[in-house]
Chain A
Amino acid sequence: MNASGTKQHHGNRVYGLPAERGALFIGYGNTLRSDDGVGPAVVLRLAKEHSGSAECLFLALQQLSPELALDLCAADRVIFVDASTQVPAGKIKIRRLGVEDPHPGRPFHTSSPEAVLGLTLALYEHAPIAWSVAIGVSDLSLGEGLSKEVRKCVDRLVRHLGHHVTRWSGANPAGGKENSHGNA
């Protein structure tokens, strides 16, 4: 039940988010910690180059939080882009993500992709198909801007993901880069 005992419709988006299910690109990290900001950098580039895509939503975030469930429940696919020290610097690792059962040990206001997917499933009985794109980084020092090798990754990844944006949105990207497969 909720506060009034009424059932709340939650399938549609609120506050300007897409009402129909599409694809989400979520880049997250701290842009003040050098390469940690690579996730937001990738997604902001994608958003700029594919501003005409109505079916794709691009989110650049500092961290994953529970409210993201509202976006995820409205999506069919989601790609999380993040920096990783577990991947060799300059390399990119892509993997399918599962859904993690929500558990009380995790702080509620921060989350992992698997946990926020689990929360979404628990709350809204739907979670999108999800992938993680981990970009190997080495410089996490204080400051804005990416290292040279990570900047190259961004270029490759934006081309690669841009292909998916084009395919999923069925629209030409604003930047006109139609054949942008690229190997991640």
Chain B
Amino acid sequence: MSRTINIEGVTRIEGHARITIELDDQGAVRDAQFHVTQFRGFEKFVEGRPLTEMPSVMARICGICPVSHLMASAKACDELLAVEIPPAAVRLRKTMNLAQLVQSHALSFFHLSSPDLLLGFDSDPTKRNIFGLIKLHPEFARDGILLRRFGQDVIALLGGKKIHPAWVVPGGVNDPLTAERRDKILEGIPAALDIARRAADWLATVIDRFPNEAAVFANFPTMFAGLVNSDGQLEHYDGTMRFVDSQARTVAEFSDPRQYTQYIAEATENFTFLKSPYFKPAGYPTGIYRVGPLARIIVAQSCGTPAADAELQRFRAKLGRAPTSSFYYHWARLIEILYGIETIEKLMRDPDALDPRVRARARPNRNEGVGISEAPRGTLIHHYKIDDHGQMKWANLIIATGHNNMAMNRGVKQVAERFIHGDTIPEGMINRVEAVIRCFDPCLSCSTHAMGQMPLLITLRNAKGEVLDERQRD
């Protein structure tokens, strides 16, 4: 008799989801499905809008990572204008993109995932959250607040406000940096770097305490993908898109964003609005790959900044060149925070940081443009087509969480296989199903352009589709 388990409303992720686990006649897990049930449809309703509006419109996809959409959208628009944006604008965009990465990773690590690590995966779920963390480890929570604040302050100092800044525009940015704002950004660097170093030191000492989680948290070989710079180092704004296999050997790479369609295709499943991108040459579902912090530090040879490279060295000494467990996304996030802070400092200390030439102006010169950048959760692709008047005719967005969709589904299945042994849903299984998804830090608002929220429900069904057990977590 086959059965199905539904988990509805996964907590501590950006957005909400439902999970179904199907059992076969022998009670073994047959399949697991991560349902994303919201839909907003930005690709459709931007049709007819002028391209100049795209960065600001697309930033509204998400209140958590609007900067990421600003970047990819503006880059696609740069392509439509066929302009090379001024070097100062590139530096400023990079700075804002990294500030976004720091604040988003800080939220993910310190406030969403650290309760699992500090309080234990099997601790009381009503206390295993940020508020339980504040009670037991207030300094850790304060560190997270301060680090996130640093990233948000950098965004506000550059763009005028923390959420949905209208500063990144097609052709560059609309305002050069002043010495006063640069100095304020630099003022925050030492404290931010100190917090990131402490957090990385702490994680390195406790990472071995979770062998069971590391073993089943989406621990399987896949390809990894992400941007690298011309030296093969970590890159988040521009560069070469590289696919590597599970041993970090390069499988494919391309530098022209418009070539992405040769390597990435999208499948759809009837149980979710979240698309399933896959590596096209390998086909679906064989072409599974992962993106995001772990993928990026596997794809890159090195980071290119001292503290991040030292931490990457410690990471690789312990786990090897390409660990296959998604549990290590947490550590990768801290490496990227270090890299982000160090690189922001480097960019701000550039002699030309205050260059007033920050925008190239042009009319539309192409009818099709693609922008690729790295969002905190992974590679972000905006692909636009316009008419001769610059009005949007078509758009396609491939979002970081989407790239990871297949890996998340397989990760949920792997956890379920480990914990489901009967007709009921054990608490430990619920905790870990949530936690494996949180490793990817999915942003469902981005990936489906979701709106609203839903609770978590796990339903166990037999072969006839009858509900055997159901657990809900609000």
Give A residues with C-beta under 8 Å from B: 1-4, 6-8, 10, 14-16, 61-63, 65-67, 69-70, 102-105, 107-109, 119, 122-124
Contacts and interface: CB of A to CB of B under 8 A. Distances in A.
B199 interface: yes
B150 interface: yes
Given A8-B139, A104-B129, A104-B131, A3 B198 contact: yes
A70 B145 contact: yes
30 contacts: A1-B140, A2-B140, A3-B199, A3-B203, A4-B202, A6-B198, A8-B143, A10-B146, A14-B188, A14-B191, A15-B149, A15-B150, A15-B184, A15-B188, A16-B184, A62-B63, A62-B161, A65-B152, A66-B111, A67-B149, A69-B145, A70-B145, A70-B146, A102-B130, A102-B134, A104-B129, A104-B132, A109-B107, A122-B131, A122-B134
A3 B202 contact: yes
A70 B107 CA distance: 15
B442 to A, nearest CB: 15
Interface in B66-111: 107, 111
B179 to A, nearest CB: 14
Interface residues of B, number: 44
Nearest to A102: B131
B187 A16 contact: yes
A10 B191 CA distance: 12
B31 to A, nearest CB: 30
Nearest to A103: B131
Give the top 6 A-B pairs by smallest Cβ distance, nearest first.
A2-B139, A3-B198, A3-B202, A104-B129, A4-B198, A67-B149
A67 B152 contact: yes
B382 interface: no
Report which residue of B132, B138, B161 has the largest number of chain A beta carbons within 10 angstroms of its beta carbon: B138
A103 to B, nearest CB: 6
Given A3-B140, A62-B164, A108 B111 contact: yes
B195 interface: yes
A65 B148 CA distance: 11
A15 B453 CA distance: 34
Given A15-B184, A62-B162, 8 more contacts: A3-B195, A14-B146, A66-B145, A66-B148, A67-B149, A104-B130, A104-B131, A108-B111
B140 A104 contact: no
B199 A123 contact: no
Given A2-B142, A3-B195, A3-B201, A109 B64 contact: yes
B161 A67 contact: no
Contacts of A66: 111, 145, 148
Contacts of B198: 2-4, 6
Given A62-B161, A67-B152, A107 B453 contact: yes
Contacts of B126: 104
Interface in B183-202: 184, 187-188, 191, 195, 198-202
Contacts of A62: 63, 161-164
Interface string B118-149: 00000000100111101101111111011011
A79 B199 CA distance: 35
A4 B198 CA distance: 5
* Chain B interface main SS type: helix
A10 B140 CA distance: 12
B153 interface: yes
Contacts of A119: 134
Contact of B142 (A8, A104, A109): A8
Contacts of B135: 122
Interface in B136-183: 137-143, 145-146, 148-150, 152-153, 161-164
Contacts of B107: 108-109
B208 interface: no
A29 to B, nearest CB: 12
Contacts of A123: 134, 138, 141-142, 145
A22 to B, nearest CB: 19
A37 B162 CA distance: 16
B269 interface: no
A7 B139 contact: yes
Contacts of B143: 2-3, 8
A105 B455 CA distance: 10
Interface string B36-48: 0000000000000
Report which residue of A15, A16, A109 has the largest number of chain B beta carbons within 10 angstroms of its beta carbon: A15
Contacts of B141: 123
A66 to B, nearest CB: 6
Nearest to B110: A3
A47 to B, nearest CB: 14
A137 B427 CA distance: 46
A133 B137 CA distance: 34
B135 to A, nearest CB: 7
Nearest to A107: B453
A14 B199 CA distance: 20
A1 to B, nearest CB: 6
A8 B192 CA distance: 13
Nearest to B56: A32
A69 B200 CA distance: 24
Contacts of A103: 131
A179 to B, nearest CB: 33
Nearest to B128: A104
Interface in B424-450: none
A122 B111 contact: no
A7 B137 CA distance: 11
